Structure 1
Amino acid sequence: MKHILITGSTDGIGKLLALRLAKEGHFVAIHGRSETKLNTTLSQIRNESKNDNVIGFLADYSDLSDVKKMAAEVSEKMPNIDVLVNNAGIFNSKIDSTPSGIDIRLVVNYLAPYQFTNAILPLIKKAEAPRIVNLSSAAQSSVSFAALKGEASLGVNEAYAQSKLALTMWSFDLAAKESNILVVAVNPGSLLNTKMAHEAYGQHWSPAEKGVDILYDLSMTDLAKTGQYFDNDKGSYATAHPDAYNSEKIKELLKTTDQLI
């Protein structure tokens, strides 16, 4: 039995992955930002999987103080974490920036998982063969440090693409620094049949299961390779944006990130 935590798992591929792992008998922790939805999802997964080892954590990922609280709660309730899937993400939003003035996509898709993962790193290190699966995207674009500091605004697509590249750059850096933790970035597939794709584009190209399958394989099988980027549109490992291999840009990104957090 493994201890697995999946963020952003009250719907979409996160929820389907949680259900699949719970059915296999693992200890699964899910996360959501709506208490009602979190409780409904918990009951549903427990009932369908006949597994009582399913727990939930509540946090609004656009609020970093909430993320910090959740990390403390996770540290109390989980003995270790074998697999962390940083799946929580946002594209469309009613608000474009957080009170700090930073685009909500940069906060939810990058700053929050960065802060959360670093806060629970001691728990991850307790596992025998820990791994972190970070959800990137085919959309990747050079990070504007001014935007990351909340000093410039971005369009929705641009902010999303920058947040996903930032996450990928950090994944590669974390893999290099933490040799005992397998860290892999993945584009689970473009326009999967999920709420996010429908809200953003009103259509989908592939079933959600395509994304669930790759997340499962990277979380549970030896397909996962540390410090790599798996592009599920191609069905193979691929080269990420050039910035993800630029050590100076990565250094600047992490310095800016640490100042913000």
Structure 2
Amino acid sequence: MSKTIIITGSTDGIGKLTALKLAKDGHTVYVHGRSEAKVAAVVTEIKEASNNQNIKGLVADFSDLNAVKKLAEIIKNEIPKIDILINNAGIFKSESTLTKDGLDFRMVVNYLAPYLLTNAILSNIENADSPRIINLSSAAQAPVSEAVLRGKEQVSENDSYAQSKLALTMWSFNLAKQEPKITVIALNPGSLLNTKMAKEAFGDYWSPAEKGVDILYDLALSESHNNDSGKYFDNDKGDPKGYFSQAHANAYDASKIKELVSLSATLV
């Protein structure tokens, strides 16, 4: 059965490859990116490669929370039922450490933007029969500092990235409890996959991008994961496929999660 799927950050990397794989199955796929020209080009490319005309574009710069709010309004009005949301957009390297609003760049793109977007369109997701949200975490997870989240303290790229990915994982577990009808899974798709982000950050890669694509596709569609909400899948744990594993200890700390979600609500 055809599903309606939104994949953020899908103009390159595993997001784009996953969009293509899902398009070939005949699903309606929304490709998202920050450049209107690039989104339009990728939509055309996927339509031609998949022979599927139900490929559409969404444009928003995830470092700008106002742009994310506008995108959420468009989605709420134009896509009444969302079967699957894949929060894939992420950044490691950035020209600036802070956004124009004075917040940590990686915290905003990797965590606050998906937090804001998802919460704004939850009712559309709940309209689906068996909805899913897949949040792309990472093996890199570090305790979240309130000062970093607020943009009051600047840390290294590695540290801010790892904090943003733990924040996303903690919120994923909270969302799974809040929304029992929605299957919410946090995923480390694999470290140093052959993607632009990994090559920009480290100049090398360990595994083909397809390793991440295959698990994203599986977690999004397979009925075997219907009861896996509130879990963390670590694709580094096995070859060719990982397994559900333990995230950072703070992802299971109810008081730390409550603090994070409360602060996040005030920031957005």
TM-score, scaled relative to structure 1 = 0.99
Q: Which residue of 2 aligns with 1:169?
A: 170
Tell me how far apart the structure 2 counterparts of residues 25 and 75 of structure 1 sit (CA, whole Å).
23
Unaligned runs of 5+ in 2: none
Tell me how far apart the structure 1 counterparts of residues 125 and 261 of structure 2 sit (CA, whole Å).
20
Asked if residue 210 in structure 1 is aligned to residue 211 in structure 2, the reply is yes
Unaligned runs of 5+ in 1: none
Tell me how far apart the structure 1 counterparts of residues 79 and 31 of structure 2 sit (CA, whole Å).
12
Query: Among 237, 245, 252, which residue is 2:252 paired with?
Result: 245
Query: Among 199, 224, 230, which residue is 2:233 paired with?
Result: 230
Query: Any idea what SS the aligned residue of 2:139 has?
Result: coil
Tell me how far apart the structure 1 counterparts of residues 203 and 168 of structure 2 sit (CA, whole Å).
25
Query: Any idea what SS the aligned residue of 2:223 has?
Result: coil
Q: Which residue of 2 aligns with 1:198?
A: 199
Shift >2 Å, 4+ stretches: none
Tell me how far apart the structure 2 counterparts of residues 241 and 119 of structure 1 sit (CA, whole Å).
27
Tell me how far apart the structure 2 counterparts of residues 179 and 197 of structure 1 sit (CA, whole Å).
34
Deviations 1:132-161 (A, max 9, x none): 000000000000001111111111000000
What is the aligned-residue RMSD (CA, Å)? 0.7
Q: Which residue of 1 aligns with 2:54?
A: 53
Query: Does the 8 Å CA contact 1:10/1:30 hold for their aligned counterparts?
Result: yes
Query: Any idea what SS the aligned residue of 2:160 has?
Result: helix
Number of aligned positions between the proteins:
261
Asked if residue 260 in structure 1 is aligned to residue 267 in structure 2, the reply is yes
Query: Any idea what SS the aligned residue of 2:68 has?
Result: helix
Asked if residue 80 in structure 1 is aligned to residue 81 in structure 2, the reply is yes
Give the fraction of aligned pairs with identical amino acids, expressed as a percent.
58
Tell me how far apart the structure 1 counterparts of residues 47 and 95 of structure 2 sit (CA, whole Å).
32
Asked if residue 187 in structure 1 is aligned to residue 194 in structure 2, the reply is no
Q: Which deviates the most, 147-156 or 194-203? A: 147-156
Tell me how far apart the structure 2 counterparts of residues 208 and 104 of structure 1 sit (CA, whole Å).
25
- Report deviation, 1:222: 2.9
Q: Which residue of 1 aligns with 2:114?
A: 113
Query: Any idea what SS the aligned residue of 1:183 has?
Result: strand
Tell me how far apart the structure 1 counterparts of residues 71 and 101 of structure 2 sit (CA, whole Å).
20
Query: Does the 8 Å CA contact 2:97/2:154 hold for their aligned counterparts?
Result: no
TM-score, scaled relative to structure 2 = 0.96
